[in-house]
């Protein structure tokens, strides 16, 4: 009698986790490349803008770049099973997010003050107030959603399925700062930025459906917040009432 041995089948949950790690790692690299490309392209074409460079812009850019690179590394650590290192690096990620948000606020407020002092923005002009309202409203809501998705990612750290989706959604929500520059340099319509972001979300939805035959609630939550941002940009943040309110608040700071 002969005995044969066979390799036990890989558990489905391990196979699914491996597929998730590979897909989201590649998606994170794609998002990071697009983000870096946007800033590099703008720097080459509009190099005269370096004259407006400030400490807050430099810190915000450095922290954002570090966060994207750390995200790629975190997914690599997860894919290779180095979870202890993944947890340690996660603490650095929290610090970077706080730095991104705080320096971002100072950067935008500094830009507003610069435009006013240079005479490029007249608070007494109704149309200028509307433009300011759109800039401030869209930017701050974008960062609010980024923070919310990141926090949801932390709250679901013990559930890799939702943790990865929320963290990748956070990365997508930070894309407008780069995409707005790409659309401007290439003379594309402003809504092109939202179309690109939606296509990235669509890739996650297609992946959900192909692997699990359903859309995960984390994917749907992230998509809903993105839709909220898109609708707000073209409704509330374009209203005169909102613009007047924003300028009134900024004038009192």
Percent helix, strand, coil in the chain (nearest 5)? 80, 0, 20
Intra-chain end-to-end CA distance of the chain, in Å? 88
Q: How many CA atoms lie within 13 A of 198 on its CB side?
A: 11
CA distance 136 to 242: 10
Residue at token pair 């959603």: 145
Residue at token pair 């009698």: 1
* Mean pLDDT by groups of 10 residues along the chain of 253 residues: 47 58 91 94 79 84 95 89 87 95 90 77 85 90 96 94 95 93 88 94 96 95 96 94 91 72
How high is the pLDDT of residue 148? 97
**Per-residue 3-state assignment (H helix, E strand, C coil) for 103-144:** HHHHHHHHHHHHHHHCCCCCCCCHHHHHHHHHHHHHHHHHHH
CB 142 within 8 A of CB 173: yes
> Which tens digit of pLDDT belongs to each residue from 108-156?
888 888 777 777 678 888 888 898 899 899 999 999 999 999 999 999 9
CA distance 86 to 96: 15
Q: What is the pTM of this model?
A: 0.87
Q: Tell me the domain boundaries of the chain.
A: 15-251
How high is the pLDDT of residue 17? 64
How high is the pLDDT of residue 120? 67
Distances (CA, A) of 181 to 27, 105, 110, 177: 21, 19, 19, 7
How high is the pLDDT of residue 7? 47
- What is the token pair recorded at 75? 């997914």
């Amino acid at each position: 009698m002969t005995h044969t041995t066979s390799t036990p089948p890989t558990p489905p949950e391990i196979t699914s986790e491996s597929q998730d790690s590979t897909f989201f790692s590649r998606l994170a690299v794609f998002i990071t490349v697009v983000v870096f490309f946007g800033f590099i392209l703008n720097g080459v074409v509009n190099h005269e803008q370096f004259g407006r460079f400030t400490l807050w812009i430099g810190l915000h850019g450095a922290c954002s770049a570090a966060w994207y690179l750390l995200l790629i590394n975190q997914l690599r650590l997860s894919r290779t099973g180095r979870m202890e290192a993944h947890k340690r690096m996660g603490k650095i990620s929290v610090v970077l997010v706080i730095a991104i948000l705080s320096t971002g606020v100072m950067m935008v407020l500094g830009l507003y003050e610069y435009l006013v002092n240079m005479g490029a923005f007249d608070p007494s002009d109704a149309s200028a107030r509307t433009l300011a309202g759109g800039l401030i409203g869209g930017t701050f809501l974008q960062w609010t959603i980024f923070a919310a998705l990141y926090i949801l990612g932390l709250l679901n750290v013990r559930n890799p399925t939702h943790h990865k989706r929320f963290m990748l959604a956070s990365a997508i929500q930070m894309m407008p700062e780069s995409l707005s520059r790409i659309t401007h340099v290439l003379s594309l319509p402003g809504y092109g930025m939202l179309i690109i972001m939606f296509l990235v979300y669509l890739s996650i939805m297609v992946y959900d459906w192909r692997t699990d035959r359903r859309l995960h609630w984390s994917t749907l939550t992230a998509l809903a917040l993105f839709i909220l941002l898109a609708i707000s940009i073209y409704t509330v943040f374009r209203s005169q009432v909102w613009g007047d309110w924003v300028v009134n608040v900024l004038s009192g700071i």
